[in-house]
Amino acid sequence: MSGLTSVATYRRRVGASLDRVWENVHDWEHLPWLHHESFRSIALEDSGDFGWRARIGLHGAAQPEIRLELVLDEGECYVSRTLEGPGATSEIWTRLFPVDARHTDIEVEFLLPDVDPGQRQALGDAYVGLYTLLWDQDEGMMQRRAWLLDAPRVAANPPQPIDLGAESALEGRLPVRVSYAGRLVAVTRLEGVWIAYDALCPHMLGPLDASEIADGRVVCPWHGYAFDVRTGRGCDDAKKLRLTPAPTVVVRDGRVLLSR
Ligand code: FES
Ligand SMILES: [Fe+2]
Protein backbone atom coordinates (compact mmCIF):
# COMPACT_ATOMS: atom_id res chain seq x y z
CA MET A 1 0.00 0.00 0.00
CA SER A 2 3.03 2.33 0.06
CA GLY A 3 2.59 5.57 -1.86
CA LEU A 4 -1.19 5.32 -1.69
CA THR A 5 -3.55 7.63 0.16
CA SER A 6 -6.74 6.51 1.84
CA VAL A 7 -9.50 8.80 0.53
CA ALA A 8 -12.49 7.20 2.29
CA THR A 9 -13.80 4.18 4.15
CA TYR A 10 -17.30 2.93 3.43
CA ARG A 11 -19.14 0.84 6.01
CA ARG A 12 -22.54 -0.80 5.81
CA ARG A 13 -24.49 -3.87 6.81
CA VAL A 14 -25.71 -5.95 3.87
CA GLY A 15 -28.69 -8.27 4.13
CA ALA A 16 -26.86 -11.38 2.99
CA SER A 17 -24.91 -14.19 4.59
CA LEU A 18 -21.14 -14.37 4.37
CA ASP A 19 -21.48 -17.30 1.91
CA ARG A 20 -23.64 -15.24 -0.44
CA VAL A 21 -21.19 -12.33 -0.20
CA TRP A 22 -18.19 -14.55 -1.06
CA GLU A 23 -20.14 -16.04 -3.95
CA ASN A 24 -20.72 -12.51 -5.20
CA VAL A 25 -17.05 -11.56 -4.82
CA HIS A 26 -15.96 -14.51 -7.01
CA ASP A 27 -18.71 -13.79 -9.54
CA TRP A 28 -16.79 -11.61 -12.04
CA GLU A 29 -19.36 -12.20 -14.81
CA HIS A 30 -22.08 -10.01 -13.34
CA LEU A 31 -20.13 -6.73 -13.55
CA PRO A 32 -21.29 -5.45 -16.99
CA TRP A 33 -24.83 -6.81 -16.48
CA LEU A 34 -25.98 -6.18 -12.95
CA HIS A 35 -23.74 -3.10 -12.80
CA HIS A 36 -24.19 -2.05 -16.42
CA GLU A 37 -24.24 1.66 -15.53
CA SER A 38 -20.71 1.33 -14.14
CA PHE A 39 -19.04 -1.29 -16.36
CA ARG A 40 -19.21 -1.75 -20.13
CA SER A 41 -17.58 -5.16 -20.58
CA ILE A 42 -15.42 -7.80 -18.94
CA ALA A 43 -12.92 -10.28 -20.39
CA LEU A 44 -11.55 -12.78 -17.91
CA GLU A 45 -7.81 -13.47 -17.99
CA ASP A 46 -7.52 -15.89 -15.11
CA SER A 47 -9.39 -17.12 -12.05
CA GLY A 48 -8.69 -19.57 -9.28
CA ASP A 49 -8.12 -19.88 -5.56
CA PHE A 50 -6.28 -16.56 -5.63
CA GLY A 51 -9.33 -14.66 -6.96
CA TRP A 52 -9.61 -13.39 -10.55
CA ARG A 53 -8.00 -11.05 -13.05
CA ALA A 54 -9.81 -9.40 -15.97
CA ARG A 55 -9.89 -6.55 -18.44
CA ILE A 56 -12.89 -4.33 -17.68
CA GLY A 57 -14.37 -1.78 -20.04
CA LEU A 58 -15.65 1.46 -18.52
CA HIS A 59 -18.07 3.98 -19.93
CA GLY A 60 -16.88 7.24 -21.41
CA ALA A 61 -16.14 8.85 -24.72
CA ALA A 62 -12.69 7.23 -24.92
CA GLN A 63 -14.10 3.79 -23.96
CA PRO A 64 -11.47 3.40 -21.22
CA GLU A 65 -10.36 -0.04 -20.10
CA ILE A 66 -8.67 -1.17 -16.93
CA ARG A 67 -6.90 -4.38 -16.02
CA LEU A 68 -7.98 -5.34 -12.55
CA GLU A 69 -7.24 -8.19 -10.18
CA LEU A 70 -9.28 -9.19 -7.18
CA VAL A 71 -7.10 -11.11 -4.73
CA LEU A 72 -8.19 -12.84 -1.55
CA ASP A 73 -6.18 -11.84 1.49
CA GLU A 74 -5.87 -13.34 4.96
CA GLY A 75 -9.16 -14.02 6.75
CA GLU A 76 -12.36 -12.45 5.46
CA CYS A 77 -10.65 -9.85 3.34
CA TYR A 78 -9.92 -9.15 -0.33
CA VAL A 79 -8.27 -6.44 -2.37
CA SER A 80 -9.12 -5.12 -5.86
CA ARG A 81 -6.01 -3.72 -7.57
CA THR A 82 -6.08 -1.72 -10.77
CA LEU A 83 -3.06 -3.02 -12.65
CA GLU A 84 -3.38 -0.94 -15.83
CA GLY A 85 -5.48 1.91 -17.19
CA PRO A 86 -7.10 4.87 -15.43
CA GLY A 87 -6.45 4.70 -11.69
CA ALA A 88 -3.60 2.19 -12.09
CA THR A 89 -2.00 1.06 -8.80
CA SER A 90 -5.06 2.02 -6.76
CA GLU A 91 -6.23 -0.57 -4.25
CA ILE A 92 -9.63 -1.13 -2.71
CA TRP A 93 -9.56 -3.25 0.43
CA THR A 94 -12.75 -4.91 1.61
CA ARG A 95 -13.13 -6.58 4.97
CA LEU A 96 -16.12 -8.77 5.80
CA PHE A 97 -17.58 -9.31 9.26
CA PRO A 98 -20.29 -11.98 9.48
CA VAL A 99 -23.17 -10.89 11.72
CA ASP A 100 -25.68 -13.73 11.47
CA ALA A 101 -27.20 -16.09 8.87
CA ARG A 102 -28.64 -13.16 6.92
CA HIS A 103 -26.34 -10.21 7.53
CA THR A 104 -22.72 -9.28 6.93
CA ASP A 105 -20.97 -6.06 7.82
CA ILE A 106 -18.53 -4.71 5.27
CA GLU A 107 -15.78 -2.14 5.43
CA VAL A 108 -14.30 -0.85 2.17
CA GLU A 109 -11.22 1.37 2.11
CA PHE A 110 -10.20 3.26 -1.04
CA LEU A 111 -6.48 3.84 -1.53
CA LEU A 112 -5.35 5.95 -4.48
CA PRO A 113 -2.00 7.14 -5.89
CA ASP A 114 -0.98 10.78 -6.38
CA VAL A 115 -3.87 12.33 -4.46
CA ASP A 116 -4.02 16.12 -4.48
CA PRO A 117 -5.01 17.01 -0.88
CA GLY A 118 -7.60 19.44 -2.23
CA GLN A 119 -9.25 16.63 -4.17
CA ARG A 120 -9.25 14.03 -1.43
CA GLN A 121 -12.75 14.67 -0.12
CA ALA A 122 -14.31 14.76 -3.60
CA LEU A 123 -12.54 11.55 -4.62
CA GLY A 124 -13.64 9.84 -1.43
CA ASP A 125 -17.25 10.96 -1.93
CA ALA A 126 -17.23 9.69 -5.52
CA TYR A 127 -15.97 6.24 -4.48
CA VAL A 128 -18.47 6.00 -1.63
CA GLY A 129 -21.29 6.96 -4.03
CA LEU A 130 -20.20 4.35 -6.55
CA TYR A 131 -19.83 1.60 -3.96
CA THR A 132 -23.19 2.44 -2.37
CA LEU A 133 -24.81 1.77 -5.75
CA LEU A 134 -22.76 -1.39 -6.43
CA TRP A 135 -23.54 -2.88 -3.01
CA ASP A 136 -27.25 -1.93 -3.33
CA GLN A 137 -27.37 -3.87 -6.59
CA ASP A 138 -25.36 -6.79 -5.19
CA GLU A 139 -27.56 -6.92 -2.10
CA GLY A 140 -30.69 -7.19 -4.26
CA MET A 141 -29.21 -10.11 -6.18
CA MET A 142 -27.93 -11.88 -3.07
CA GLN A 143 -31.24 -11.50 -1.23
CA ARG A 144 -33.25 -12.83 -4.14
CA ARG A 145 -30.89 -15.82 -4.49
CA ALA A 146 -31.05 -16.55 -0.77
CA TRP A 147 -34.84 -16.40 -0.78
CA LEU A 148 -35.12 -18.67 -3.83
CA LEU A 149 -32.54 -21.14 -2.54
CA ASP A 150 -34.41 -21.37 0.77
CA ALA A 151 -37.92 -21.61 -0.68
CA PRO A 152 -39.35 -24.95 -1.78
CA ARG A 153 -40.22 -24.49 -5.46
CA VAL A 154 -42.03 -27.71 -6.34
CA ALA A 155 -45.67 -28.15 -5.37
CA ALA A 156 -46.59 -31.42 -3.70
CA ASN A 157 -49.59 -31.98 -5.99
CA PRO A 158 -49.93 -31.24 -9.70
CA PRO A 159 -51.95 -28.02 -9.90
CA GLN A 160 -55.25 -27.58 -11.63
CA PRO A 161 -55.26 -25.48 -14.80
CA ILE A 162 -55.11 -21.78 -14.02
CA ASP A 163 -57.39 -19.30 -15.79
CA LEU A 164 -55.30 -16.17 -16.38
CA GLY A 165 -58.20 -14.18 -17.81
CA ALA A 166 -59.50 -12.96 -21.15
CA GLU A 167 -56.97 -12.65 -23.97
CA SER A 168 -57.98 -9.06 -24.59
CA ALA A 169 -57.45 -8.14 -20.92
CA LEU A 170 -53.98 -9.71 -20.80
CA GLU A 171 -52.66 -8.07 -23.97
CA GLY A 172 -51.79 -4.79 -22.31
CA ARG A 173 -49.81 -6.25 -19.41
CA LEU A 174 -47.48 -8.85 -20.86
CA PRO A 175 -45.51 -10.71 -19.73
CA VAL A 176 -47.83 -11.94 -17.01
CA ARG A 177 -46.05 -13.48 -14.05
CA VAL A 178 -47.71 -16.39 -12.31
CA SER A 179 -46.75 -19.04 -9.81
CA TYR A 180 -47.48 -22.49 -11.20
CA ALA A 181 -46.58 -25.76 -9.46
CA GLY A 182 -44.40 -23.79 -7.09
CA ARG A 183 -42.39 -22.12 -9.88
CA LEU A 184 -42.48 -18.61 -11.20
CA VAL A 185 -43.58 -18.64 -14.85
CA ALA A 186 -43.88 -15.82 -17.38
CA VAL A 187 -46.65 -15.89 -19.97
CA THR A 188 -46.56 -13.79 -23.11
CA ARG A 189 -47.55 -13.71 -26.77
CA LEU A 190 -44.90 -14.08 -29.46
CA GLU A 191 -45.81 -13.55 -33.09
CA GLY A 192 -49.42 -14.27 -32.23
CA VAL A 193 -48.67 -17.45 -30.26
CA TRP A 194 -49.16 -17.64 -26.51
CA ILE A 195 -46.19 -19.16 -24.70
CA ALA A 196 -45.07 -19.71 -21.13
CA TYR A 197 -41.46 -19.90 -20.00
CA ASP A 198 -39.74 -20.46 -16.69
CA ALA A 199 -38.90 -17.11 -15.13
CA LEU A 200 -35.93 -18.42 -13.14
CA CYS A 201 -32.63 -18.39 -14.97
CA PRO A 202 -31.02 -21.84 -14.73
CA HIS A 203 -27.61 -20.22 -14.23
CA MET A 204 -28.06 -18.59 -10.81
CA LEU A 205 -31.82 -17.98 -10.58
CA GLY A 206 -31.82 -14.52 -12.14
CA PRO A 207 -35.18 -12.90 -13.03
CA LEU A 208 -35.79 -13.70 -16.71
CA ASP A 209 -39.23 -12.10 -16.47
CA ALA A 210 -37.51 -8.74 -15.89
CA SER A 211 -36.16 -8.66 -19.46
CA GLU A 212 -37.82 -7.92 -22.78
CA ILE A 213 -37.94 -10.66 -25.41
CA ALA A 214 -36.16 -9.90 -28.69
CA ASP A 215 -36.02 -12.32 -31.63
CA GLY A 216 -37.51 -15.03 -29.43
CA ARG A 217 -34.69 -14.68 -26.89
CA VAL A 218 -34.67 -13.46 -23.35
CA VAL A 219 -31.40 -12.19 -21.86
CA CYS A 220 -30.89 -12.57 -18.12
CA PRO A 221 -30.12 -9.24 -16.43
CA TRP A 222 -27.64 -10.76 -13.97
CA HIS A 223 -24.94 -12.26 -16.25
CA GLY A 224 -26.31 -11.84 -19.75
CA TYR A 225 -27.01 -15.48 -20.61
CA ALA A 226 -29.62 -15.78 -23.39
CA PHE A 227 -32.38 -18.35 -23.81
CA ASP A 228 -34.82 -19.14 -26.60
CA VAL A 229 -38.18 -18.86 -24.83
CA ARG A 230 -39.90 -21.10 -27.42
CA THR A 231 -37.58 -24.08 -26.98
CA GLY A 232 -36.02 -23.31 -23.59
CA ARG A 233 -32.55 -23.82 -25.07
CA GLY A 234 -29.61 -21.74 -23.93
CA CYS A 235 -27.89 -19.69 -26.63
CA ASP A 236 -24.21 -18.79 -27.11
CA ASP A 237 -22.42 -18.93 -23.72
CA ALA A 238 -25.49 -20.60 -22.16
CA LYS A 239 -25.55 -23.53 -24.60
CA LYS A 240 -25.18 -26.09 -21.83
CA LEU A 241 -28.14 -24.67 -19.93
CA ARG A 242 -31.83 -25.14 -20.47
CA LEU A 243 -34.91 -23.56 -18.99
CA THR A 244 -37.04 -25.75 -16.74
CA PRO A 245 -40.01 -26.87 -18.84
CA ALA A 246 -42.94 -24.51 -18.45
CA PRO A 247 -46.66 -25.35 -18.45
CA THR A 248 -48.68 -25.24 -21.64
CA VAL A 249 -50.77 -22.23 -22.60
CA VAL A 250 -54.19 -23.00 -24.02
CA VAL A 251 -56.72 -20.45 -25.30
CA ARG A 252 -60.29 -21.57 -24.83
CA ASP A 253 -63.32 -19.42 -25.56
CA GLY A 254 -61.12 -16.32 -25.56
CA ARG A 255 -59.60 -17.14 -22.16
CA VAL A 256 -55.97 -17.98 -21.52
CA LEU A 257 -55.35 -21.09 -19.44
CA LEU A 258 -52.16 -22.56 -18.05
CA SER A 259 -52.02 -26.31 -17.64
CA ARG A 260 -49.54 -29.18 -17.56
S1 FES B 1 -28.48 -15.83 -13.26
FE2 FES B 1 -26.66 -15.72 -14.38
S3 FES B 1 -27.25 -15.38 -16.41
FE4 FES B 1 -29.08 -15.59 -15.29
FE1 LIG C 1 -21.28 -6.71 -7.78
Q: What is the CATH number of the domain that holds 127?
A: 3.30.530.20
Judge whether 91 lies within some domain: yes
Of 28, 36, 201, 237, which is best to mutate to test ligand 1, by the most ligand atoms within 8 angstroms of its C-beta? 201
Is residue 100 located within the same domain as residue 172? no
Is residue 130 located within the same domain as residue 178? no
Distance CA 249, CA 26 (A): 39
Is residue 129 located within the same domain as residue 180? no
Band (155; pLDDT cuts 50, 70, 90): low
Distance from the alpha carbon of residue 179 to the mean position of ligand 2, in angstroms = 28
Domain end call among 128, 150, 172: 150
Of 222, 237, 241, 243, which is best to mutate to test ligand 1, by the most ligand atoms within 8 angstroms of its C-beta? 222
Distance CA 222, CA 237 (A): 14
Is residue 144 located within the same domain as residue 168? no
Is residue 17 located within the same domain as residue 145? yes
Handedness of CA 54, 106, 95, 3 (dihedral sign): positive
Cross-strand bridge partners of residue 195? 188
Judge whether 157 lies within some domain: no
Judge whether 38 lies within some domain: yes
User: Which CA distances in Å does 11 have to 16, 110, 126, 163?
Assistant: 15, 12, 15, 48
Per the model's pLDDT, the better-predicted residue between 175 and 16 turns out to be 16
Nearest to 80 by CA among 44, 53, 107: 53
Ligand nearest to the CA of 27: 2
Is residue 91 located within the same domain as residue 119? yes
The answer for residues whose C-beta is within 8 angstroms of residue 48's C-beta and 6 or more apart is none
Which atom of ligand 1 is nearest the CA belonging to 208? 4
Is residue 174 located within the same domain as residue 130? no
Percent of the chain topping pLDDT 90: 88
pLDDT of 54: 98
Domain end call among 101, 127, 150: 150
For residue 46, what are the domain limits? 4-150
Tally of structural domains, the chain: 2
Domain end call among 93, 128, 150: 150
Judge whether 229 lies within some domain: yes
Distance from the alpha carbon of residue 173 to the mean position of ligand 1, in angstroms = 24
Is residue 109 located within the same domain as residue 18? yes
Is residue 16 located within the same domain as residue 111? yes
pLDDT of 172: 86
pLDDT exceeds 90 at position 96: yes
Is residue 102 located within the same domain as residue 29? yes
Is residue 65 located within the same domain as residue 136? yes
Judge whether 49 lies within some domain: yes
Q: What is the pLDDT of residues 70-89, one digit of tens each?
A: 999 999 999 999 999 999 99
pLDDT of 157: 66
Judge whether 155 lies within some domain: no
Q: Is the CB of residue 201 below 6 angstroms from any atom belonging to ligand 1? A: yes
Neighbours of 197 (CB within 10 A): 25
User: Which CA distances in Å does 150 have to 26, 140, 147, 172, 202?
Assistant: 21, 16, 5, 33, 16
Q: What integer best gives the mean pLDDT of the chain?
A: 94
Is residue 112 a contact partner of residue 5, using CB atoms and an 8 Å limit?
A: yes
Which atom of ligand 1 is nearest the CA belonging to 205? 1
Of 24, 34, 197, 225, which is best to mutate to test ligand 1, by the most ligand atoms within 8 angstroms of its C-beta? 225
Domain containing 225 — which CATH number? Answer: 2.102.10.10
Q: Is the CB of residue 53 below 6 angstroms from any atom belonging to ligand 1? A: no
pLDDT exceeds 70 at position 127: yes
Is residue 10 located within the same domain as residue 117? yes
